[in-house]
Homo-oligomer: A and B are copies of this chain.
Amino acid sequence: MKSEINNELPVGTRALILSKLYYGALSKSLDNLDVERYYSVLFFLYNHQNCCQQVVCDNLRIDKTAMVKVLDYLSKAGYIERTTNPADRREHFIRLSKKGEKQTKKIVQSFDSIDEKAFLNISEGERKTFLKVMQLVCKNLDSLPSDDLFFNYKKTKAKN
């Protein structure tokens, strides 16, 4: 038996642990797919067909240079296609291919099923509160002015 999941950890650390457990379960459940990662990108694309890369980056907090590699990988696996937005030719639309869509459907099902299991024995109200607070915490963290962050030190170079 593992020791208890620690109750005294900062919220960021707990969130990281939660995501580790979650993605561990997810990738186990999707063991026999021909892509082994970037499920969340596929999930996002499933719900946002034909959006451009930057939108994916912003929503999933993935760096744009990393995103290039993710999409190269998914493209090589035949899951996605890139097309140029004629209205703004800098942008590349990302679309799931027929194969990508079919496989991503299973991925979405896996996500849904694990979400469901994750909230077992938790009331609908608590679940709602949880998700609402999670949203707010993200918003708070996202809008932290970087000056706020230097409290026990004098500000040095403040690279941001």
| Chain B residue at smallest Cβ distance from A16 | B19
CB of A122 within 8 A of CB of B138, answer no
Stretch at the interface among A67-75, A76-84, A86-94, A150-158: A150-158
Further pairs besides A14-B134, A29-B149, A114-B141: 13, Cβ < 8 Å: A5-B135, A6-B60, A9-B43, A11-B22, A11-B118, A16-B23, A28-B160, A109-B152, A119-B137, A121-B136, A122-B133, A126-B133, A129-B133
| Chain B residue at smallest Cβ distance from A21 | B141
Q: Contacts A9-B43, A13-B43, A43-B10 known; A22 to B141 CB distance under 8 Å? A: yes
Q: Which residues of A does B touch, CB under 8 Å?
A: 2-3, 5-26, 28-29, 31-32, 40, 43-44, 47, 55, 58-61, 106, 109-115, 117-122, 126-127, 129-142, 144, 146, 148-153, 156-160
CB of B156 within 8 A of CB of A144, answer no
CB of A61 within 8 A of CB of B21, answer yes
Task: Kindly list chain B residues whose C-beta atoms are within 8 Å of the C-beta of A15.
Answer: 15-16, 18-19, 22, 134
The secondary structure that dominates the A interface is helix
| Chain B residue at smallest Cβ distance from A26 | B12
CB of A117 within 8 A of CB of B129, answer no
A58–B2 alpha-carbon span in the complex (Å): 6
